Amino acid sequence: MRFDSSNGNTLTNNTISYVIYGDGIWLLQSNNNTLRNNTFSDNKYDGIYSGGSSYNTFINNNLSENEGGIRLLSQSNNNILIANKVSNNYIRGTYPETGIDIEDSSSNEIMNNDILNNYYGIYLVYSDNTRIYLNNFIDNDVNGYSFSSTNLWKSPEEITYTYEGKTFANYTGNYWSDYTGIDVNEDGIGDTPYMGKMLPTRMYSLHGDEDSYPLMQPFEDYLASTPPPEKPPKFLTLPFNDPSVRIQQGWVYTFNPDPDAHLGIDYVKGTIDMPDTWQSFDIVAASDGWAMRSEQPGDTGTYGNFVLVRHDKKDLAGNDYFTLYAHLKTVAPTIPYQNRFSISYDYSDPSKWIYVKRGEIIGEAGKTGAANTGIHLHFEVERKGYDQYQSDPYDLYTTRDAYPMGDNEGCGPNYLWTTDPPRLPINPFNFVKIVGLSPIDMTVITPDGLIISKQTNQVPGATYTENVDFNGDGELDDIITIPERKIGDYIINVIPESGASPTDTYTLKFLTNVGTLVLAENTQIRDIPEQPYIVESTENGVIQIHPDFNVIPELPIGTVTALVTMFASLAFFKKKKIMSRKPISNQQPHALHRNPQQQKSNTRQHAATAKTQFTNEQCSSQVLTLQMFSIPFKVSIIFAGTFLCTT
């Protein structure tokens, strides 16, 4: 059965078996569908296959004896998998198969599933922010496998449960049949994290992901007769109205994983990690409440000028919620001042507090108390009173990489925001991500002629980051995130990093909401094409066009000056011979890991069709050529091969 661009369907109480050349059900770019109480068994490929399909619900289905159980690929995001039984999906084809397979897909929720006797229980590659909890992973060859992925292996909040006749409250993870840890306090939660199976490479199969709350028994033993947990109120909107503002730091400092290091969210208007670009912006109240202002003097490590707002919402223990807005340049003059050491909580006293409405301007972002870090808003959610019981409003105990408006989409469900996750007024599913796996840098020109590189960022809301080693080769990899996909040509120049060897390899991916293109995979540095990669973005998809002298996209006149300056500097830098660096082990994922791009290449139809032309150019003279034609200007940037050769 096939759903192609089909939305809002419900499929219940069916048996789909013995499909001799296909999946039980195949979803392509199909959203908001529900599959409930179905049986998928003995099919040639997957029980349920999803490609580029989001907001679907798979509940109480039985999937067995297929090549794979449930497979989510190519930006299949925000799906819910609950109470499914996925069993005995093993080796039928070239690759070991999986109970649940998630690749290039994020922000899904997986709970109350029984996953047993498969090769892989759950398999995640290039997939983040999926919440996985209260599942049973039993007797799979590899219960859990994760590569270049960061996910949430615990319940979204503490729950009350019964274990061995006693009642406890804690976060809950998953049951793993091969977990060998102990439970000293006998609360049913293992005392050490579950990190996966030890592989022949001497690495654990979760590769840095871990379940910090592993269950000692199957999840059913914890939840009998337990009512669903009460949820805290959702009452906050974003503390600004400027759509270019985004997260610089999350609950934990990027450079310090101590969970008590930050206790707030830092918002900036400018380029991530470049304080010199940060600008002031208006701060607004995130919800109705009583406001006061104060200050914590000092140049670094203090709140500086701040506003404290007490809201008309309480946590589950009956404590008032507060929000704090720190490092302000100015504060609205109508907000009364109190000394932070002697705050009166008498809200009837107009000399102490004034009532503000959601969205009312209460100040401007500044750097008081944070002169060394630059202009930004430090935003905290507190309970009970000033500087007490801080909470992460996004329900993510992590860095900005996992927050909306950071480098990746996604946040914890059902927490304090009125929209979950809170969004800026752009289409969050109309994005572009360009991933360069080392050792390369990238320069991208968008269809409207704007440039983004390490040195330049003309694209509103876009980021260039280099802080994660995705492929495990010891080098930090590059990601360009552009929040809105435009129609037209994206021009991508690949530049070897200083010290790169001609025989080093790189991989280049172009990810969008409509599919993923692999522009280069394990390509040697010496084979970087002389012309840039070009990807054509259309209303229906993206098409790869390899360098061709006849393909010369038009650029706005203003872009030409920036290009001339940038690439002239680059030519001077690259004129030096690139020396071979000390070899670094380019270890691939362990022997059990398969290449997601090779998977079923002969049996799948892809949403995006690639036009591929390859060229092999020999290294010649050291030159960088800039060709310009009559107005309107057209520019072709050509990197000569010898920038990549040693002589």
User: What CATH code is carried by the domain that includes residue 581?
Assistant: 2.60.60
Taking residue 181's Cβ as centre, other Cβ atoms within 10 Å add up to: 14
The confidence band for 366, taking pLDDT boundaries of 50, 70 and 90, is: very high
Q: Contact, 480 vs 433, CB < 8 A?
A: yes
What's the CATH code of the domain at 346?
A: 2.70.70.10
Q: Which residue has the higher pLDDT, 272 or 407?
A: 272
- The helices-and-strands tally (H runs, E runs) of the chain is 2, 44
The confidence band for 224, taking pLDDT boundaries of 50, 70 and 90, is: low
CB-based contacts of 320, cutoff 8 Å, min separation 6: 310, 311, 313, 314, 383, 384, 385
The confidence band for 516, taking pLDDT boundaries of 50, 70 and 90, is: confident
The string of pLDDT tens digits covering residues 610-641 is: 323 323 333 332 333 333 332 233 333 333 33
| Residue 234 maps to a domain | no
Q: Which amino acid type is present at position 559?
A: T
Residue 177 lies in domain: 2-223
Taking residue 111's Cβ as centre, other Cβ atoms within 10 Å add up to: 18
pLDDT at 358: 87
pLDDT at 399: 65
159 and 211 in a single domain? The answer is yes
Among 362, 380, 402, identify where a domain stops: 402
Question: Where in 252-406 does DSSP place strands (E)?
Answer: 265-269, 282-284, 289-296, 304-314, 320-326, 328-331, 354-356, 361-365, 377-383
pLDDT at 365: 96
pLDDT at 423: 54
Say whether pLDDT at 554 is over 90. Answer: no
Average pLDDT over every residue of 121-132: 90
pLDDT at 621: 29
Say whether pLDDT at 389 is over 80. Answer: yes
360 and 275 in a single domain? The answer is yes
620 and 538 in a single domain? The answer is yes
Across the chain, mean pLDDT equals 77
Q: Which residue has the higher pLDDT, 515 or 82?
A: 82
Say whether pLDDT at 573 is over 50. Answer: no
Say whether pLDDT at 12 is over 60. Answer: yes
pLDDT at 198: 82
458 and 587 in a single domain? The answer is yes
Say whether pLDDT at 581 is over 50. Answer: no
pLDDT at 82: 92
Average pLDDT over every residue of 589-600: 36
| Residue 114 maps to a domain | yes
80 and 49 in a single domain? The answer is yes
Say whether pLDDT at 217 is over 70. Answer: yes
Q: Which residue has the higher pLDDT, 192 or 623?
A: 192
* Whole-prediction pTM: 0.40
Q: Contact, 134 vs 111, CB < 8 A?
A: yes
189 and 42 in a single domain? The answer is yes
Number of domains in the chain: 3
For 9, the 3-state DSSP assignment is coil
Q: Contact, 100 vs 86, CB < 8 A?
A: yes
The confidence band for 443, taking pLDDT boundaries of 50, 70 and 90, is: very high
Say whether pLDDT at 77 is over 80. Answer: yes
pLDDT at 267: 93
pLDDT at 189: 94
d(CA 216, CA 222): 10
Say whether pLDDT at 34 is over 90. Answer: no
Sign of CA dihedral 614, 617, 623, 626: negative
pLDDT at 470: 62
Cα angle 480, 486, 491 (rounded to 5 degrees) comes to 55
The confidence band for 452, taking pLDDT boundaries of 50, 70 and 90, is: very high
pLDDT at 391: 83
478 and 616 in a single domain? The answer is yes
Say whether pLDDT at 445 is over 90. Answer: yes
| Residue 121 maps to a domain | yes
pLDDT at 88: 84
Taking residue 261's Cβ as centre, other Cβ atoms within 10 Å add up to: 13
| Residue 419 maps to a domain | no
Say whether pLDDT at 370 is over 80. Answer: yes
462 and 357 in a single domain? The answer is no
Average pLDDT over every residue of 287-302: 90
d(CA 319, CA 583): 57
Say whether pLDDT at 225 is over 80. Answer: no
Q: Which amino acid type is present at position 526?
A: R
The confidence band for 95, taking pLDDT boundaries of 50, 70 and 90, is: low
508 and 373 in a single domain? The answer is no
Token duo for residue 620: 């010649």
41 and 187 in a single domain? The answer is yes
54 and 128 in a single domain? The answer is yes
| Residue 417 maps to a domain | no
pLDDT at 193: 92
| Residue 416 maps to a domain | no
212 and 249 in a single domain? The answer is no
Give the least confident one: 117-131, 313-327, 374-388, 608-622: 608-622
Average pLDDT over every residue of 324-329: 97
pLDDT at 254: 63
User: Over pLDDT 70: what percentage of the chain?
Assistant: 74
Average pLDDT over every residue of 68-72: 89
Say whether pLDDT at 278 is over 80. Answer: yes
| Residue 232 maps to a domain | no
pLDDT at 315: 82
Of 517, 494, 516, which Cα lies nearest the Cα of 506? 494
| Residue 179 maps to a domain | yes
